[in-house]
Structure formats: structure tokens, C-alpha cells
Amino acid sequence: MRSWEIATAEDMRRWGEALGRRIVDGGLIYLSGDLGAGKTTLAGGILTGHGFTGRSKSPTYTLVEPYETARGPVYHFDLYRLSDPEELDMLGFRDYLNARALCLIEWPERAAGALPAPDLHLQLDARADAHRVSLLHASARGAGWL
């Protein structure tokens, strides 16, 4: 398994920016990990690297935050508050998946079995001295981004 040690929140953001710059088309990225592991920080970095110039925010209460970039739409999902995977249908989740859209999904395990396979599945773990980002899955497209 491939993994990266990331020392600070700013380093996590920069790592995300580097990844975001490599994504030239749409895709699906899962971000897993406990509270405080850095998922939202990483997602913000990906957004910046993908061309979003505004301030990103956590979609914890809205479940999804849409962003427009020069490379296409980005939808940042936070499924922490999802109580049943069927709620994705009420959100119109399938409508967000299209060839140009990049979807970032925090807490994908809350909708296990209801989500398509990701291009990247990253596990984030907070440690006393650093954070670790581990690659759990990569499609051929996702592997190219890394």
C-alpha cells in the first residue's frame, strides 16, 4: 500500500493542491478517516489545485457544496450526517455524477453499497506528530493522478 506522511495542515493542503492540479477531467475521490484526520483540509487543497479561487467550506450540514472551476464543476460531499444510504436518492446524487464533474466524498462508508467505485480512495489518519494519507484504491485514471 502506498502512503504519505504529512506534517502539518498546511502541508496537507499543499498535497491536495498538487493532486488537484493533476486532475484535468472529472472523477470520484473518497476521503475516509476519523474526525480531525484532515479530510476537509485535503478537499480544500484539491479544490484550489483544480482551479477554485474562493474560500471553500465544509458541507457537513448541507451534505454537498458545489463549486465551479475552469476545469468543470466540483461537488464536495460530507456524508457524516447521512443516516441511510437511500438518502442519496433524495439528494439527487446520481445527477452530480457526470463526465466533467469531480466529486469529493468524505465519509463514503456511510453510503456503502450505494456509491460507484472511486478513482481514488484515500484513508487519512491523524497521528501525534503527523498525518498519514494511505491509498486504499486507485482506478487507472486515479493512479495517473498520483
Determine the pLDDT at residue 27: 94
Report if pTM > 0.85: yes
Residue 111 to residue 133: CA distance in whole angstroms: 21
Question: How many domains does one find in the chain?
Answer: 1
Task: Give buried/exposed letters for 48-71 (b at 16+ CB in 10 A, else e).
Answer: bbbbbeeebebbeeebbbebebeb
Determine the pLDDT at residue 114: 86
Per-residue HEC secondary structure of 54-97 comes to CCCCCCCCCCEEEEEECCEEEEEEECCCCCCCCHHHHHCHHHHC
Radius of gyration of the chain from Cα atoms?
14
* Residue 126, domain CATH: 3.40.50.300
Domain ranges, residue 75? 3-145
Percent with pLDDT over 70 in the chain: 96
Of 36 and 49, the structure prediction assigns the larger pLDDT to 49
Of 81 and 99, the structure prediction assigns the larger pLDDT to 81
Q: What is the tens place of the pLDDT at every residue in 61-78?
A: 668 899 998 889 999 999
Determine the pLDDT at residue 59: 65
